[in-house]
Amino acid sequence: MSIFKELQSAVSSAMPAVFSIDIDPSSLLVQPTRKDFVGDYTIVIFPFVKLLRKSPEAVGEMLGQYLVDNDDKIEAFNVVKGFLNLSLSDSYWSEQLYSMSATSDWWKQPSQSGRVMIEFSSPNTNKPLHLGHIRNILLGWSMSRILEAVGKEVVRVQIINDRGIAICKSMLSWQLYSGQISPEEANVKSDHFVGEWYVRFEQEFLAEYLVWQESDSGREVFDEADEPDAEIFFKKYKNTYFNKFSLLGGQAREMLLKWEAGDTEVHALWAKMNSWVYAGFDQTYERLGVSFDKLYYESQTYLLGRSMVEEGLSKEVFFTKEDGSVWVDLTDAGMDEKILLRSDGTSVYLTQDLGTAQLRYDDFGAKEMIYVVADEQNYHFNVLFESLKKLGVPFADGLNHLSYGMVDLPTGRMKTREGRVVDADDLMDEVYAEAKKETSERGEIVDLTEEEQDDVLRKISLAAMKYFIIKVDPKRRMIFNPAESVDMQGQTGPYIQYAYVRVQSILRKAAEAGGDDKKEAYDLADDERSLLAQLYAFTSVVDQAAELFNPGLIANYCYQLAKTLHRYMHDYRVLTAESETARHHRLLLIKQIGEILKAGMELLGIEMPERM
């Protein structure tokens, strides 16, 4: 039980004895005492003043005195207007420290019933994973770890977008321009290889489009348009040209139609190129330390949802228009009418997503589903969730969209079609190079073997990248700066890793020196009480991160804890403490801080090195 819940329970139990009223523990607001007041935790008593018909000071004095007299962990109190500040005893804090040290996972919640499914990554197979995918993956993976920490059984899934016109562009480009070579022959990582042919298609298409704009046909189309600026017109007209005039566009659409018709040759090419991409994805996922329990493929799910549309029609929650198309009316939820089946009977993405959600429920029985998808799709998920509610599916109340802002670089936005995109692998290589440069300048791992240095640099660089991205509130758009991410003095992953490494170094030296580990009373300094309170708050931070779908709360907690630790080790002697009792307690304290830093960073998918 967290200290917040302990205090809620203590105050709730005191209320009948002091004031003859019952108070629900969860209604009590407990918070850390502000640094400019004396105390460890504060009970907000304003809500009960009117009920008790007493002044805030009187309520605080009576309640505080009862707690001091009847609860051993509370040694003193003071009242500031409507705030009751409680000071906990040294013996209580020391017992908590020993209790933490005895149970490494003291901060975790017991297992809960039911499953949670979380979908993340979900890339297209026409290109490698890029910086935008990295934010998605890191949010999804860290949230899955956090949800497990609060006792939930988590199923990690992704849906791979392995069909459609974009995939056919890569396939056609490889057919036309590659000379039929393989990634191995080109000596290029296989997903990057396929992505290069997607970019090549866009380059060839753009060249074709520019030529057409100067042709008689192009000038005729422009002359008929109600737009005086040719550049603006042709920028808007590009998709129409692709579907109506383009030779390359026609070939790509023909390939897609053949795929849908089950053409043997097209399917063989599709399977071969997708296998190249999957092999590349797997290498990137392994490097990131990420895995999935189940993979879904759009090629296998795009026809799903039709039976749910029929069910919706029978329940009269969907309706048919005169042209035969099927719609759902969401105006009562503040949205508009959305199409589910076109007049020719073909489905849309919404239909597919309805069916995929039901399939996942059938597969895993998960009544809670979390979709990690960029904020560009906010409206789509509002529509999807509301449509599922209208259908009355058993998991309708457990649907959540972890929406996040896009990631930019200091140089600006990325564009895949133009080849101006930072691939995930290239980004990891760049951050590794920055970490190597930073570490070389410090000269602290030169005595390690080359293999050991590589392992340290791998952990530092991945921590730098992951932490820099995860620390930002998911809802905020962000700029990723590789050089800033490895800064040892800023709010970075390596800064927190260094705090952990300092602890391990001290613990190794303490083990070598030996010492008395007897459990004796110790007068805690105020800074040590604050550190213990900060440690004890970890459970609440993890709970809040799970509730708000925000791993950044844990990232920022770890930074604050590391910063406090650095200051503590500057101000207090540990190995050469003034007494064996002080040495023993301080070693226990910094060891537990190291353990919580490691646990917190592991929730974010970040490994801790022993040296750096």
Among 54, 88, 122, give the residue marking a domain's end: 88
pTM: 0.91
Sheet holding 326-329, edge to edge: 318-320, 326-329, 337-341
Same domain assignment for residues 439 and 578: yes
pLDDT above 70: residue 455: yes
Backbone angles phi, psi at 407, to 5 degrees: -110, 130
**pLDDT tens column, 510-558:** 999 887 666 777 899 989 999 999 999 999 999 999 999 999 999 999 9
**pLDDT tens column, 62-87:** 999 999 999 999 999 999 989 999 99
Sheet holding 153-160, edge to edge: 294-297, 153-160, 115-119, 368-374, 399-404
Alpha helices, DSSP H, located in 214-323: 216-224, 230-244, 247-260, 264-288, 298-301, 306-314
**pLDDT tens column, 193-235:** 999 999 999 999 999 999 999 999 999 999 998 888 999 999 9
Same domain assignment for residues 575 and 432: yes
Decide which of 46 and 172 is more confident.
Answer: 172
DSSP 8-state code for residue 372: E
**pLDDT tens column, 138-163:** 999 999 999 999 999 999 999 999 99
Domain hosting 524: range is 425-603
In this prediction, residue 599 carries a pLDDT of 98
Closest-CA residue to 591 (of 602, 607, 575): 575
The band of 48, judged by pLDDT with boundaries at 50, 70 and 90, is confident
Same domain assignment for residues 438 and 341: no
Closest-CA residue to 562 (of 554, 573, 572): 554
Backbone angles phi, psi at 166, to 5 degrees: -65, -40
Same domain assignment for residues 554 and 454: yes
- Does a structural domain hold residue 15? yes
pLDDT above 60: residue 243: yes
Which strand (E) or helix (H) includes residue 202? helix 190-213
Helices 552-571 and 493-513 meet at what angle, rounded to 10? Answer: 40
Hey, what are 112's tokens? 């809960």
Task: Kindly state the percentage of the chain with pLDDT values over 70.
Answer: 98
Separate counts of helices (H) and strands (E) for the chain = 24, 14
- Does a structural domain hold residue 553? yes
- Does a structural domain hold residue 363? no
Left, alpha or beta for 507 (phi > 0: left; psi -120 to 50: alpha)? Answer: alpha
pLDDT above 80: residue 412: no
CA distance 243 to 255: 13
In this prediction, residue 409 carries a pLDDT of 80
CA distance 174 to 197: 6
Residue 303 amino acid letter: L
State the CATH number of the domain containing residue 36. 3.30.1360.70
CA distance 5 to 9: 6
- Does a structural domain hold residue 594? yes
The band of 416, judged by pLDDT with boundaries at 50, 70 and 90, is very low
Same domain assignment for residues 437 and 535: yes
The band of 49, judged by pLDDT with boundaries at 50, 70 and 90, is confident
pLDDT above 50: residue 128: yes
The band of 272, judged by pLDDT with boundaries at 50, 70 and 90, is very high
- Does a structural domain hold residue 515? yes
pLDDT above 80: residue 13: yes
The band of 495, judged by pLDDT with boundaries at 50, 70 and 90, is very high
Residue 530 amino acid letter: S
The band of 417, judged by pLDDT with boundaries at 50, 70 and 90, is very low
CA distance 95 to 536: 12
How large is the average pLDDT for residues 255-264? 96
Strands (E) across 393-493 are located at: 399-404, 407-408, 478-479
**pLDDT tens column, 368-387:** 999 999 999 999 999 999 99
- Looking at every residue in the chain, the average pLDDT score rounds to 93
Same domain assignment for residues 324 and 461: no
- Does a structural domain hold residue 580? yes
- Does a structural domain hold residue 66? yes
Q: Which of 57-71, 182-196, 355-369, 507-521 has the lowest mean pLDDT?
A: 507-521
Same domain assignment for residues 339 and 437: no
Q: Which residues have C-beta within 8 Å of that of residue 175, sequence separation ≥ 6?
A: 269
Q: Which residues have C-beta within 8 Å of that of residue 304, sequence separation ≥ 6?
A: 351, 352, 354, 355, 356, 358, 359
Among 66, 88, 110, give the residue marking a domain's end: 88
**pLDDT tens column, 275-331:** 999 999 999 999 999 999 999 999 999 889 999 999 999 999 999 999 999 999 999
Strand-pair partners of 371 = 119, 401
Same domain assignment for residues 464 and 335: no
pLDDT above 80: residue 53: yes
- Does a structural domain hold residue 185? no
In this prediction, residue 517 carries a pLDDT of 66
Same domain assignment for residues 435 and 582: yes
Same domain assignment for residues 342 and 481: no
When divided into structural domains, the chain yields a total of 3
- Calculate ∠ Cα 474-384-478, nearest 5°: 15
The total number of residues written for the chain in this structure: 612
CA distance 402 to 552: 13
Spatial contact of 374 and 136, defined as CB atoms under 8 Å apart = yes
State the CATH number of the domain containing residue 528. 1.10.730.10
Hey, what are 77's tokens? 């109190």
Spatial contact of 292 and 157, defined as CB atoms under 8 Å apart = yes
Spatial contact of 160 and 125, defined as CB atoms under 8 Å apart = yes
Which strand (E) or helix (H) includes residue 43? strand 41-44
Strands (E) across 292-442 are located at: 294-297, 318-320, 326-329, 337-341, 368-374, 399-404, 407-408
**pLDDT tens column, 97-112:** 999 999 989 999 999 9
In this prediction, residue 513 carries a pLDDT of 87
Question: What's the Rg (C-alpha) of the chain?
Answer: 30
CA distance 166 to 124: 8
Residue 210: count other Cβ atoms within 10 Å of its Cβ: 11
Residue 443 amino acid letter: G
Spatial contact of 458 and 452, defined as CB atoms under 8 Å apart = no
Strand pairing of 41-44 and 83-88?
Answer: antiparallel
CA distance 362 to 354: 13
Same domain assignment for residues 445 and 534: yes
Same domain assignment for residues 538 and 431: yes
What sign does the CA torsion over 497, 406, 170, 411 have? negative
Spatial contact of 388 and 357, defined as CB atoms under 8 Å apart = yes
Residue 344, burial from CB neighbour count under 10 angstroms (0-12, 13-18, 19+)? exposed
Among 297, 326, 346, give the residue marking a domain's end: 346
DSSP 8-state code for residue 392: T
